[in-house]
Structures are given as structure tokens and as C-alpha cells.
Structure 1
Amino acid sequence: MTDLDLSELDDRTRELDAAHVFHSWSAQAGLNPLVIAGGAGSRVWDHAGRSWLDFSSQLVNTNIGHQHPAVIAAIHEQADLLTTVAPATANLARGEAAKRITDRAPAGFNKVFFTNGGADANENAIRMARLFTGRDKILSTYRSYHGNTGAAVVATGDWRRIPNEYARGHVHFFGPWLYRSEFWATTPEQESERALRHLERVIQSEGPSSIAAILIETIPGTAGVLIPPPGYLAGVREIADRYGILIITDEVMCGFGRAGRWFAFEGYDLVPDLITFAKGVNSGYVPAGGVIISDAIAATWDTAVFPGGLTYSGHPLAMAAIVGALDAMSSEGIVENAARVGREAIGPGLEELFAKHDIIGEVRGEGVFWALELVADRETREPVSAAVIGRIKGALVERGLLPFVAENRIHVVPPCTVTDDEVAEALATYDEVLSLPLVE
């Protein structure tokens, strides 16, 4: 095809999108989405060949990068064999996927309930916790995002909860974040201690016997990549045990390599009761998610019927993608690469940017899961405006970097396969854009 033909494909894509696609979390008029036609590794491009270094991992899910050949081959092989099957049947791809997941889970986790994504994983984990405990309330933090289904979006703490509050039995509390502490803390240890005291007081005030579970992102992602302070998650476990409350860890975004570990909670002295996952388990090549269930909870339904199910639970193509992704991540040391590149390249590089640019108020993260907190004033910590963030995003895209921006933050979230050279390229682009006159 000629360059003109390729350019026309981009135009055609935009025309079809504007005419027929209803976009999530958006006012529909005036949208002008970026056209993505293809990708490989850490890069994506449009039909005409303009490319971007993808430091968003789309929605922080392409942990293995775009078009990894092992995952594509696994999907092709399964498609030639069997493209779909009812969940009530036994299927080899589903069993192999479940085994690979449970092999990486803590001891005492041997069953997986597969869903279509992270939201319905959290939805079903909430259901399991309520049925197992006979209690109703779910506690979750204000700085959180758990998905856009009935209970999951009400468990969510951010603004998206408010127009969607139709589910019952949800209570919110403040998790720790020293930079914008709700507890007047001045040290990480103090923040942890006071946040735990706050949580326990909420539990006591709500009535411990009414609370089924605490649903918590191990590392809150969309809310800002909020790294737990020392002792916090272990303290949550201690409090939950004291009152007979379950812990559901939402590992949808932070799991499967994103934090430089198979599960983020492995770094925080915490073993949960239920683990939800999606995104990185197969990098979203085919939609999949699920709940990893501790043996004690799973045994509840050995003789009783679990009242839940999905037509596409354990879909063969999604399961094949999980097997292909997890095998490749193991054999190629991809999780180890995420840990190393975060420690040796991303972290130090972002700290250099912090030293150079006053607009950066804080750098935080681990693995390939980082955030730059952008402020109008370092002293007052006033966030930059939406207009400034818009200019930053536009300038990054113009220079060939696809960013993930949220509120007043740039989230630095490349694939786990990212190279040191790609990190250096991204850091140079961030540096150039943050050097621009951004405030009018």
C-alpha cells in the first residue's frame, strides 16, 4: 500500500470510531483518540507508521509487551484445536493455566475461579467472602480502584464510585500515603501506625461482626502507585485476624511482574485469604481474570453449590494465553528483568529528574510500577492543574512517548520486558517535556 493508503486507514479508523464507538469514562463529543494499528515489545504504531514508546502498557496490562511470539503461538495453537468450550466441562488449557497460577501462589492456595477480567474477579471475591463469613460489609480504601461492575465500583474509592453507588454494604477508610498524609504523620513508621489505628477504629465503629472482608490493592495503582509503608500490610493482617475478617488482595494491576515479583504482596509480609488478578496474567492478549482461593475457603463449596458463574469462565483462548505468557515470563526471566530495571534504571533515572525539575514533588515505585507526583509548588505540594497535565501528555505523545497520566501524575509503567535503552529514551523525553514552559 502507498503512504497515502496507510494514512487513509488512520482516517477511516477515526471516522468509524467517532460514528460508532462509545468510549468508557469519557464525554463522547470531541474525542480524538490515538490510532493504534500494531505493536511489538515496548512500541506501538499507527497505520501510517508513526510509532510511540509505550510507557503506559496500555492500561498497565501488557506486562510481557506487545505481540510476544510465545503468547501469539499459544493462542494460534489453541485456536486450531478448540476456540470455545462451556465452563462446566474440563479443558486442558484451563487446567494448565490454573496450575501455573497456583504454583506461584502461597502455600494453601490450590483453586482458581476464572473470570473475564479484574472487575468481575473482585466482584466474585466479594461474593465468596460474604458467603464464607456470613457477614455483609466490605471495607476498602478511598484511594483505590477495583473495577466497573456493581460491587467493585462501589468498593472503589475514587470519583467513579459516586454516580454508581447502587450496591450495599460498602465502607471506606483512608490508607497510608505519607506525602499527603491524612494522619499528620512525619515518618513512614508513624504513617503506618496511625493508618492502622484508623483502620481498627473504623472496624470497631462499624461492628466487627458485620464485616466480611477488607479489599485492598497491595499497591494502589490508578490512585497513584502508593507504596505501603513498613509494617502496614502485616498490621492489616493482624487486625483482620483479631476480628475474624478476611483479606482480599487486589493484584489486578500490581501482580504478575509489575512490582518486580509474581505477586506484589510477597514483598510486604502478607498472606491474604483471596487473591484477585487479571491484566498481567496474560497481558490482556485475550480477556481473563480470576480469584485464587485459599483452601479453607474453597472447601466451603465442596458439597454446597457456589452461586456464581460466567459463560466465558476459563475461555480456552484466554487460558492458552496465560500458559504462553507465564511460561515465557519464567523462561526468559521477565519478572527478574522488571525488578532489575526498576532498581537500576527507572528508579535512579526518575530521582535524577526529581533533582532537576521542581515540578516533581515525589517519585515513588518499584519494579516497572512508578509515579511522578507533579506539583505547582514543592513547598505547599499543590497539584498541577489539569491544563498543565494535558500539555504534558500532548508534548510526550508528540515526541513519540505514550504516557499514562492520572490526575496530577505521570505513571511510569512500561512492559516488564523494557530494556535499559528504552528506559533511557523515555527518561530523556520526560526530561525534555518537563523542561518546557508548561504554565501560562
Structure 2
Amino acid sequence: MSDLRNTQDPRRAYELDRAHVFHSWSAQAALDPMVITKAEGPYIWDGQGQRLLDFTSQLVYTNLGHQHPRIVAAIQEQAATLCTVAPAYANGARSEAAHLIAAHTPGDLNHVFFTNGGADANEHAIRMARLHTGRPKVLSTYRSYHGGTQLAVNVTGDPRRWPNDNGSTGTVHFFGPFLYRSAFNSSTPEEESQRALSHLEQVITLEGPSTIAAIILEAIPGTAGIMVPPPGYLTGVRELCDRFGIMFIADEVMSGFGRAGKWFAVSDEVVPDLLTFAKGVNSGYVPLGGVALSDAIYATFAERAYPGGLTYSGHALACAAAVATIRTMEDEDTVANAQRLGSAVIGPALQELASKHEWIGEVRGTGCFWALELVSDRETRSPLAPYGGSSPQMAALLKACRSEGLLPFANYNRIHIVPPLNTPDDVVREGLAMLDRALTATNS
């Protein structure tokens, strides 16, 4: 008899969840979680048997969709020979995964420290930068998310930080570029880039350059709103870092591995000193994250022990999934397909939706990484839900989407369009038509 008996019973799954599972970011008593019983490709099935088109890629990580046969087979093959091994030993899956990751990272980011996910990747990247520079502070933007662990959540610039922020981790926040809601009264992308860089330079000067170890930026902020940086901004940040001896950490946990239509969103513009990744590295099939280090930072720890590690660093099953994911992406030209989907299918369709629905204040994105900024008034740009909260209108829209058979990604006043990178064109169009009908039904 299978040890997984009873796990396919949705009623039992729900009852045991409510009896024993403590959920993240939630008030427990009010929860009514949807049961997911199975998944395939871009679809999931709920406990009532309804098929839903997964436009969330879960938490924006199933970049190759659900149950991809090559990734599943790689995990099974690895499990049959070596399920797990301690980090001190070399093993083929970890070594090959590091080699494949380094083949796609920009510049000299040729060494990989593996973690269990994105939060601890950012924690370790900041630790490396502090040890490398001998400086304590780290700068990050408002409207950002870098993880839920102690340092990572303090670096975070969204409301999830507020209840956890004790101000003792050497973190300083500044305004990044966001033209639609500019903190600098900019009217063009060029102005926004220039003014945001001037602001950052002032923050560096007033905080004391000699106290700042790193600036950490999401290459494209993800859950905060998919605000693609204006031209020249990342280059300007790189120049400021070089001038003041500050390490540039690119958080590519969400934007990396093809999500933005490139292997990494910074690739065409700058080479960071440290680059963090997770999620899409293996489509989230087994928890995995990591830090890619420049040669200079690697050299700091060539003769000096790095004071950090994780029990499951480079877990064999997770790395086998990464090897299969990256090789599949190479073989199927997944990154180019993601770019094409964005420019030829998703972007034009979202602009068409914006012309039809007054709630859509702005469309922004690239690749398979898009957001609709929803507003109650286009002139005042009043958000359809408050920052850090929701609203009856957003709740109604999400309900209408699910009635259509669409599982949307929502955050505050935004809907994010983040399907798997290999979703067929007609299925993407089907999902966007569902969203169109849901907007019509809700705002009529």
C-alpha cells in the first residue's frame, strides 16, 4: 500500500490543513485555502475538480510549467542513486548545476554558493558583501521584496517589513525609479532615471560611503509591481557603486532564468558583484536558491574561511531539477520564446485591454513578466486598493477571474500576468480573454 494513501482526498487535505498547518503572511482563523489536487503544464485542478489556468506560475517560479516530464524524470533518476549528500562533499548534480548556472550569468560571476531559496540567498549575499568590504550597511529600495528571514525582510521595502522591522540590521531604504508614481515629479523615463540616481547619490553621501557594504536591487521589482527600470538606471547604480567601493547585489530571484525574456534581467546592461537566484532555476520543483559571486569576492574567501553554510546547500534532488530545467531551456530556446510572448502576444493584448477598461491605469512589463496597475480614477491615479491592502473591487475581480477558470496573481491594486514561459500562444490568449471578461463583469 502506498505511503501517500489518503493524500489525494481533497476534503481530508482541507481538514488536516485547518487542523495543523500554520500559513505564512496570514491571519490563521480567517483562512479558507484552495486545495490543489494536481497540475499539468499551465493548469492546476482545485478540490472541486475545476481546471484553472495558472497565470501565477504559483509564486512566479514554475517557469517551465507543472509536471514537466524532463524535470520529473531527472528528480526520479537522481532519487534512485543519491537523494541527498552533505554540502562538504562534491557530487555530480551540484557540480553540473553550478557549471550550467555560471554559463549564463553575466561577466565573471563564475562561482555559485547554493542556498535553499531566495531569502537566504539574499542573506548570504549581504553577508559576503559585508565581509568583503568590512562595512555594515546595506541600501535597498522602497517597493521591493527580498525575503522573509530576519535580514531579508528588513531589507524588503514593502508592508510585509513593517511588523518585523526592529531597525537593528544596518538597512537603509531609498526611492527607486517608478515613473507612474514618481517620487521625483518626473515626466519622462529619462528624467526619472536621472533624478532617481541623484537621489541615491545623496543618500550614499549622507549615510557615509565608508559605512555602506552593498546596494541590493531587484533587477526588475517583482511582487512590488514589475517596474522595469528606465534606460540608464542600472548603469548609473553600477557607476555609483564603483565610485564609492560599494558592492552591487542584483536580486534576480524572480526576474531570472528567462522570466524577463533574458537569462538574467541585468545581462545586457551591467555586471553586478553578486547575483542572487532561486525560483526559475529549477521551476520550483525542489527548493533551491543561490548566490553567484564575482572573482573579486571569491578571492576574499580563497584563503579565508567563509563563515556561513546550510545543511541542504546544493541538495542533490534540487540540483538535478536545475540541470534538467536549464538544459530544457537551452534545447527549447525558452528564453527567446518568453521574449517573443511578451512582445508579440502579452504586451499588445494588455494594451488592448487598457483601451477598453477604465480601471487599467498602466501596463508595464517584459517577457512573461507583466503588471496591470488598477486605479479607480485615471486622472488622479487613485489605486483600486490601498497600499498594503485589498478592496471589495479587487476581491470581486479575483472571484470573477476564478469563475472564468483563471488563477490570477494579485497584489494590492495590481494584477500580474506571469504565466509559464512555455505556455502556448493560444492558451495565453485564452487567459487574457478570461481576464477581459472578468474586468467587464466586475466594472460594468
User: Shorter-normalised TM-score: what interval?
Assistant: over 0.9
* Residue aligned with 2:94, SS: helix
Using the alignment, how far apart are the partners of 1:350 and 1:52 within structure 2? Answer: 20
Amino acid at match of 1:339: Q
The answer for the alignment partner of 1:301 in structure 2 is 301
Alignment of 1:1-400 (within 5 A): 9-166=9-166, 167-267=168-268, 269-385=269-385, 386-400=391-405
Using the alignment, how far apart are the partners of 1:8 and 1:344 within structure 2? Answer: 39
Question: Which deviates more from structure 2 when the two are superposed, residues 281-290 or residues 332-341?
Answer: 332-341
Amino acid at match of 2:224: A
> 1:302-347 CA distances to partner (integer Å, 9 max, x unpaired)?
1111000000001000000000100001101111111111110000
Using the alignment, how far apart are the partners of 1:122 and 1:156 within structure 2? Answer: 11
* Residue aligned with 1:58, SS: helix
Amino acid at match of 1:141: T
Using the alignment, how far apart are the partners of 2:56 and 2:294 within structure 1? Answer: 32
The answer for the alignment partner of 2:421 in structure 1 is 416
Using the alignment, how far apart are the partners of 1:412 and 1:16 within structure 2? Answer: 32
Runs of 4+, deviation exceeding 6 Å? none
Taking structure 2 as the reference length, what is the TM-score of the superposition? 0.96
* Residue aligned with 2:375, SS: strand
Question: Which deviates more from structure 2 when the two are superposed, residues 39-48 or residues 125-134?
Answer: 39-48
* Contact kept in structure 2, 1:391 and 1:438, CA below 8 Å: no
Amino acid at match of 2:307: P
* Residue aligned with 1:132, SS: helix
* Residue aligned with 1:130, SS: helix
The answer for the alignment partner of 1:406 in structure 2 is 411
* Contact kept in structure 1, 2:7 and 2:13, CA below 8 Å: no
* Contact kept in structure 2, 1:258 and 1:369, CA below 8 Å: yes
Note closer, same or farther for the CA distance 1:87–1:437 as it changes in structure 2 (3 Å cut): closer
Amino acid at match of 1:354: A
Q: How many residues align?
A: 433
Question: Which deviates more from structure 2 when the two are superposed, residues 120-129 or residues 421-430?
Answer: 421-430
* Residue aligned with 1:219, SS: coil
* Contact kept in structure 2, 1:7 and 1:47, CA below 8 Å: no
Using the alignment, how far apart are the partners of 1:8 and 1:64 within structure 2? Answer: 24
Using the alignment, how far apart are the partners of 1:7 and 1:430 within structure 2? Answer: 32
Question: What's the RMSD between the two structures over aligned residues?
Answer: 1.3
* Residue aligned with 1:104, SS: coil
Using the alignment, how far apart are the partners of 1:7 and 1:405 within structure 2? Answer: 28
The answer for the alignment partner of 1:3 in structure 2 is none
Taking structure 1 as the reference length, what is the TM-score of the superposition? 0.97
* Residue aligned with 1:391, SS: helix
Amino acid at match of 2:427: E
CA displacement at 1:47 relative to structure 2: 4.9
Which ranges of structure 2 fall in alignment gaps of 5 or more residues?
Answer: 1-5, 386-390
What percentage of aligned pairs have identical amino acids?
A: 61
